[in-house]
Amino acid sequence: MHAYSLMYHDVVADGAFDASGFPGSSAASYKLERDHFEHHLQAITGTVARLGYDRVSQPETLLRRSPSRQPAVLLHFDDGGKSALAIADAIERHGWRGYFHITTDLIDTPGFVTPTDIRELDQRGHVVGTHSCSHPPRMSSLRFDDMVREWRDSAAVLADITGKPITVASVPGGYTSREVVLAADRAGIEVLFNSEPVSRFDWVRGCVVLGRYTIKQTTGADEAAAIAAGRRRPRWQQWAMWNGKKALKNAGGTYWLALRKRIFDARAGSRPDRP
């Protein structure tokens, strides 16, 4: 049984990258302009229909799937940027419902969704998941109690808004670990998505852990569709990149974050900070 999850962030009008989600050039590299996103949706939807894969819009369906079922394809939108409702309009036109993972400390701040937006997403059949309270820079380096608090408090905020228990989450920044999963399980999360580019299901106590494939501004529509189709080459490329980065992150720790910021600042043409 496989799940091909595509991880998006924001979808913005031409060039308006700071209008939704986290500002800055590093965050922008994960945002798509509307026309580009529309091409992605056309390519993915066509491919999934041709192959007869399941578009899984509800976590319960995901958990009840038998091993012989067709692969599942899921669309995710992380952070809780203001573009969520425009994204919902776009994906609904193609017959999809999405997984929207909300950073709860940012609700109702500039560039992010309001409680009314979240309620509407839920009522239109999209999945509302938590993406932590504060989007910590390195979730996996927090103390266990703080991890539990990040999951539990954010889930409580969203449950309060939607009137439903929150059982779905995604790991901010992809900084996962066994403790991050155990903390999510402790907080009542039943389905946890991380950023490992894998399609398998892993069970940790009462929580199923699933990977996701990262979609960036530079990801072409054909590549996104190839990932949704389960084609090996683009998935292996992401896997190789991810594991290379993971080695760097483990070796460099916070140095990796500083380096990443400098690379993006340099690309954006601003003068990078001195180390």
Out of 4, 20, 78, 166, name the contact with Zn ion by CB under 5 A: 78
Nearer to Zn ion, 78 or 117 (CB): 78
Nearer to Zn ion, 8 or 96 (CB): 8
Give the angle 204-210-216 at the CA atoms, nearest 5°: 150
Beta carbons of 54 and 72 less than 8 angstroms apart: yes
CB of 79 to Zn ion, least distance (A): 5
Nearer to Zn ion, 48 or 118 (CB): 118
CB of 67 to Zn ion, least distance (A): 31
Nearer to Zn ion, 7 or 208 (CB): 7
Q: What is the 3-state secondary structure (H, E, C) of the chain?
A: CCEEEEEECCEECCCCHHHCCCCCHHHHCCCEEHHHHHHHHHHHHHHHHHHCCEECCCHHHHHCCCCCCCCEEEEEEEECECCHHHHHHHHHHCCCCCEEEECHHHCCCCCECCHHHHHHHHHCCCEEEECCCCCCCCHHHCCHHHHHHHHHHHHHHHHHHHCCCCCEEECHHHCCCHHHHHHHHHCCCCEEECCCCCCCEEEECCEEEECCEECCCCCCHHHHHHHHCCCHHHHHHHHHHHHHHHHHHHHHCHHHHHHHHHHHHHHCCCCCCCC
Binding mask 31-70 for Zn ion (x = CB under 5 A): ----------------------------------------
Contact segment (CB under 5 A) with Zn ion among 62-70, 78-86, 208-216, 238-246 equals 78-86
CB of 64 to Zn ion, least distance (A): 28
Q: Which of residues 214-243 bind Zn ion (CB under 5 A)?
A: none
Question: Counting contacts by CB under 5 A, is residue 10 touching Zn ion?
Answer: no
Out of 10, 20, 45, 79, name the contact with Zn ion by CB under 5 A: 79
CB of 27 to Zn ion, least distance (A): 9
Nearer to Zn ion, 47 or 195 (CB): 195
Binding mask 148-187 for Zn ion (x = CB under 5 A): ------------------------x---------------
CB of 53 to Zn ion, least distance (A): 26
CB of 66 to Zn ion, least distance (A): 32
Residue 92: phi and psi, rounded to 5, are -65, -35
Positions touching Zn ion (CB under 5 A) are 78-79, 172
